[in-house]
Amino acid sequence: MKKIVVLGSINIDTILNITRLPLPGETMAMHDRAIAGGGKGANQAIAAVRAGAETSFISKIGQDHAADFMLNTFREDNLDIDHVTMDEKAGTGKAYILLDDKGQNSILIYGGANQTITVDDIHNAEATIKGADCVISEFETPIPATVEMFKIAKANNVVTILNPAPAKTNIPEELLKLTDIIAPNETEAEAITGVKVVDEDSMELAASKMHALGVKTVLITVGSKGSFYSIESDKSGFVNAFKVNAVDTTAAGDTFIGYLAANLEHDLSNLESAMIIASKASSLTVQTQGAQNSIPYKKQLNL
């Protein structure tokens, strides 16, 4: 069983169902509203544990009812939350998701307790990080904490996966050099490289620029089309997405990351097959509204 450590965010998602995104200054009525667990880190951790990996989560919550709701969710999945701690001042993170009739979304984030994670929190989880096969982080928590986790991981031969989301244009060079696999979507890849990702040629160009920044393996997810991979000085390829009717794309990328990590061999020799499994899991996620409730269990993949 793979051992995964995820550093990342916890959010309570408020999902607002609308016909289309509003225009500037426009007032619109909603079809419906729902509350669900979310946060990129929490989604990725739940995806990894549902994929069959022994998964530990490093995060922070507020001292509120939202925290109780999230902790109960984690316990139901047997997620290791020994390193999920409480901040007495900041509230639990929140996300407000505008979901249109085509299943596309726009998301607004309140960081809250997620933004109070420190390097000390990483040091407190050092033994867990050292014992992992793979660690994952993203950008909904402070970058210094991610750098410190990746330093510990690299010193102990642990694979590092960076999901550079939300998109940032100036990622610290130190972090990129500590990253084994970077996994942006097309928007995030453009923010990093300046290359507009529209086809395989532009994916190759974007990947080459990320290789030049120090990352050996690049994965670019492109929604319903699939995912591209490039291993520096070795090979590249494309994995087609499974064709389904999408209801809500929230957490699809997080499901992909969690399932990828749970199925990836340490030497990345099975990268393409792990991407296929991750793509299958994501195709199930998008068929249900919500984030964590839509992430499938391994048995649902029928692989």
Is 254 known to sit in a ligand binding site? Answer: yes
Question: Does 303 score more than 80 pLDDT?
Answer: no
Is 198 known to sit in a ligand binding site? Answer: no
Give catalytic residue positions: 254
Question: Whole-model pTM above 0.85?
Answer: yes
- Domain locations along the chain: 3-8+40-90+115-298
Is 223 known to sit in a ligand binding site? Answer: yes
Is 197 known to sit in a ligand binding site? Answer: no
Is 214 known to sit in a ligand binding site? Answer: no
pLDDT digits (tens, 9 = 90+) for 263-295: 999 999 999 999 999 999 999 999 887 778 889
Is 5 known to sit in a ligand binding site? Answer: no
Percent of the chain with pLDDT over 90: 82
Question: Does 124 score more than 80 pLDDT?
Answer: yes
Question: Does 103 score more than 90 pLDDT?
Answer: no
Question: What's residue 201's pLDDT?
Answer: 95
Could you tell me the CATH superfamily of domain 3-8+40-90+115-298? Ribokinase (3.40.1190.20)
HEC sequence for the chain: CCEEEEECCCEEEEEEECCCCCCCCCCCCCCEEEEEEECHHHHHHHHHHHCCCEEEEEEEECCCHHHHHHHHHHHHCCCEEEEEEECCCCCCEEEEEEECCCCCEEEEEECHHHHHCCHHHHHHCHHHHHCCCEEEEECCCCHHHHHHHHHHHHHCCCEEEEECCCCCCCCCHHHHHCCCEECCEHHHHHHHHCCCCCCHHHHHHHHHHHHHCCCCEEEEECHHHEEEEEECCCEEEEEECCCCCCCCCCCHHHHHHHHHHHHCCCCCCCHHHHHHHHHHHHHHHCCCCCCHHHCCCHHHHCC
